[in-house]
Amino acid sequence: MSPSQIIVLATPVFLVLIATELAIGIRRRRNTYRLADAVSSISLGMLSQTSAVFTRLLRIGIYTALFEQVALWRNDAFWTSLPGWLLALVFYDFCYYWLHRLGHESAVLWAAHAVHHQSQDYNLSTALRQTSSGALLGWVFYVPMALAGVPPLVFGVVALIDLLYQFWVHTEQVGRLGWFDRWFCSPSNHRVHHAVNDAYLDKNYGGILIVWDRIFGTFKDEDEQEPCVYGTRGLLNSWDPLWANAQVYAALAHDSWHTRRWGDKLRVWLKPPGWRPADVAARFPKPAFDIAQMPRYNPAMTPATRWFACVQFALLLAGMSVFLWHADSAPLAHNMAWFVALLAMQWALGAVVQGRIDMLLALMIEAGALATATSAVGLLQWHGLFKPLAMVIAIALIATSALSISTRDRFNAKSWAAMVLALVLSLAGDVFLMLNSLFIPGLVSFLGAHLAYIAAFRRGVPWFAHRGALLATLAVGAAMYAFLWAGGLPVALRGPVAAYVLVIALMVAQAMGRARVLGHSAARMVAAGACFFMVSDALLATNRFVQALPMAPFWVLATYYAAQVMIVWGWLRGQSQEEAATSPPLDAPQTAAATPTAAQNHSVAQTNPG
């Protein structure tokens, strides 16, 4: 049985324990759960496990290679005896202590580990909130075990034991445990580790044993007079699983890029978290951390959003379980396709809960992701369902949005009708292209869709307002057409394909000109979507007329749905921004609930790890 399958079998146990802790907290009137935070934490745990399918080479493969080549003492019989297993577990926990400690003392390691600390709540769901990038450098700390000759099987088992042990210590419902707290990592000891209070910062790194902290001077007892405030010293302010993993890396890359000294460009990554070069700190100042003034991130959710989140979360959990159960025996290409689909669905769920996108747009993203994955792995019957479904949802989204604002003065029926027509023709093109004998009708349908997009993008801006973009897109289109001609484009299709290439180049040029005139992010998103459309069509034509591309259905459809989602989302955002610009200002708008007392709300901030 693989580690991934063990995680699948352990998942129901985790969920039962989470439900038990929730029930106890409610009964004691000390509930530590919020739906959005718990869903975000568990979603990050899912992402950690699904991405581990691809990083296992770093965690186990490199270890195995080192064991085979450089082990100083080979005695498998000892390591598989009871004393050997116990010694290996203690050995692993010792190495883990140093990985964990350096993960708080070196910025590049903290960038990976910070994900686990970002939650402003402390409960069993927080335990599942794990990094997806820790394997990139974390394997280095276990090299001593390979040198000592600990077999890979023993290493893998004790690593899993150490990880599973740490689940139960993430709770506020278990108090002090007397003698146990002196020897082992316990809930009390680990609460200190997750706190950002000055007295608790960077303490209690032990995984199973807390004696390492006592030996090396990093132990701190929990003080009842100073309640723990959880999180990191810098608000994540997001339920986005991708941004949660990238936030600290992005901040380090920003400082490294902008500092003038070459030495500081390296020091940014190696120094303790929060260290910044003087020139960067002066140009991009950050407010000092104040534990009493940092609000808890808590965007409001409607009852419908809560139900949507619960249903989507259950479906995601089921999808992750199926993926992990079959991952070790599935082809790499299939694993990649399903991983990307699950990731898109996780992102969409986080965006809905955060209030960034509406539920219909999330469903469009999910249908597109499933259409892409089912095509890539050859599940054609399911592909036949999800591919048209994505565009049907897009049409419904644009149509309902148009109806909701049709009585307003700024409503432009022609541009909305053009957008709906573009999506309807895209749907027709999708259906035709699924039938190999109807390529020409599909080409004509998409030709009409691009013309309709041009008409929609014309609203409020001149024709092809950015002459440079027009010349560039026409040049790219001409180069692509020459490439297809040289690659064997059939004579009968040279005329229709030339017209198609010209129209899509004009669509991209119109979208880019519109973005130049309007100057807002929504218009730029539409322009980016148009560019993705051009990429998708280029991949489709290359695969069909020149040379078969590896994983062609995946790349063609992934770029196609990226294009459609960005155009639809950017269009709706643009309409909202224009409406807001002409509407009276609202008094004291709020998108997130905030409270002033950090100690009461376990608020967070980040310049140093917690």
What is the mean pLDDT of each successive set of 10 residues along the chain, which is 610 residues long?
Answer: 86 96 96 95 95 84 91 92 96 97 96 96 96 92 95 94 95 95 96 95 96 97 93 90 96 96 95 94 90 86 94 95 93 94 96 94 97 94 95 94 73 85 95 84 92 91 91 94 91 89 95 92 94 95 90 95 96 75 50 40 38
Residues 158 and 44 reside in one and the same domain: yes
Number of domains in the chain: 3
Comparing CA positions, the residue from 158, 161, 156 lying closest to residue 10 is: 161
> Could you tell me if residue 605 is inside a domain?
no
CA distance 413 to 2: 57
481 and 403 within one domain? no
Q: What is the 3-state secondary structure (H, E, C) of 80-115?
A: CCHHHHHHHHHHHHHHHHHHHHHHHHCHHHHHHHHH
Ramachandran quadrant class, 31 (left: phi over 0; alpha: psi -120 to 50; beta: rest)? beta
Looking at the fold, whether 64 and 199 belong to one and the same domain comes out as yes
What are the residue ranges of helices labelled H in 519-596? 521-541, 552-582
Among residues 574, 566, 569, the alpha carbon closest in space to that of 518 is found at: 574
Give 516's contacts (C-beta < 8 A, 6+ positions apart): 465, 466, 469
Q: Per the domain annotation, does 227 fall within a domain?
A: yes
Of 411, 443, 476, the one marking the end of a domain is: 411
73 with 84, same domain? yes
Same domain, yes or no, for 484 and 508? yes
The model's pTM is: 0.88
For 71, the 3-state DSSP assignment is: coil
Say what the pLDDT of residue 499 is. 92
Together in a domain, 371 and 501 = no
The residues near 411 (Cβ < 8 Å, ≥ 6 apart) are 402, 405
CA distances from 515 to 452, 462, 574 (A): 18, 11, 10
Task: Give pLDDT, residue 407.
Answer: 65
- Range(s) of the domain holding residue 492: 413-577
Note whether 203 and 337 are same-domain residues: no
Q: What pLDDT score does 180 carry? A: 96
Q: Are residues 478 and 568 in the same domain?
A: yes
Residues 83 and 111 in one domain: yes
Does 515 lie in the same domain as 440? yes
Tell me which DSSP letter residue 272 carries.
P
For residue 82, tell me if it sits in a domain. Answer: yes
Residues 66, 120 within the same domain: yes
Nearest to 238 by CA among 187, 298, 283: 298
